[in-house]
Amino acid sequence: MTATAFICHAIPGRMRLKIPSKKGDQLYFEQLVERLADLETIDGIKARALTGSLVIAYSGDIHKTLQKKGIEEGWFELKKSTADARETMDKSLFSLPHTVFENVNSELRVMSYGLVDLPHLALFTLLLLALRQLLRGQIVGPALSLLWSAFQLVYLFRTKHNG
- What's the whole-number average pLDDT of the chain? 81
How far is Cα 48 from Cα 30, in angstroms, rounded to an integer? 9
Does residue 27 sit in the same domain as residue 74?
Answer: yes
The CATH number of whichever domain residue 20 belongs to comes to: 3.30.70
Q: What is the pLDDT of residues 40-70, one digit of tens each?
A: 888 999 999 988 899 999 888 888 888 888 8
Residue 103: the pLDDT is 81
Which residue range forms the structural domain that includes residue 54?
Answer: 3-90
Does residue 62 sit in the same domain as residue 125?
Answer: no
Does residue 55 sit in the same domain as residue 123?
Answer: no
Last residue of a domain, one of 74, 90, 106: 90
Last residue of a domain, one of 90, 108, 131: 90
How far is Cα 49 from Cα 106, in angstroms, rounded to an integer? 29
β-strand 14-18 against 42-48: which pairing, if any?
unpaired
pTM: 0.49
Mean of pLDDT values over 134-156: 79
Residue 156: the pLDDT is 74
Does residue 105 sit in the same domain as residue 48?
Answer: no
Residue type, 13: G
Residue 96: the pLDDT is 66
Other CB atoms within 10 Å distance of the CB of residue 55: 15
Does residue 23 sit in the same domain as residue 79?
Answer: yes
User: Which is nearest to 150 in space by CA: 120, 113, 112?
Assistant: 120
Q: What is the pLDDT of residues 76-121, one digit of tens each?
A: 888 876 554 555 555 555 566 767 778 888 888 888 888 888 888 8
Does residue 131 sit in the same domain as residue 115?
Answer: yes
Residue 69: the pLDDT is 81
Residues written for the chain: 163
How far is Cα 87 from Cα 92, in angstroms, rounded to an integer? 9
For CA atoms 143, 145, 151, 153, give the dihedral sign: negative
Does residue 116 sit in the same domain as residue 155?
Answer: yes
Residue 26: the pLDDT is 92
Does residue 104 sit in the same domain as residue 158?
Answer: yes
Does residue 7 sit in the same domain as residue 28?
Answer: yes
Give the 3-state secondary structure of 67-116. Answer: HHHHHHHCCEEEEECCHHHHHHHHHHHHHHHHHHHHHHHHHHHHHCCCCC
Does residue 137 sit in the same domain as residue 120?
Answer: yes
Q: In the predicted model, is pLDDT for residue 154 greater than 80?
A: no
Residue 71: the pLDDT is 81
Higher pLDDT pick, 8 / 162: 8
Give me the number of domains the chain comprises: 2
Q: What is the pLDDT of residues 8-48, one digit of tens each?
A: 888 888 999 999 889 889 999 999 999 888 888 889 999 99
Contacts of 82 (CB under 8 A, 6+ apart): 6
Q: In the predicted model, is pLDDT for residue 152 greater than 90?
A: no
The terminus-to-terminus CA distance of the chain in angstroms comes to 37
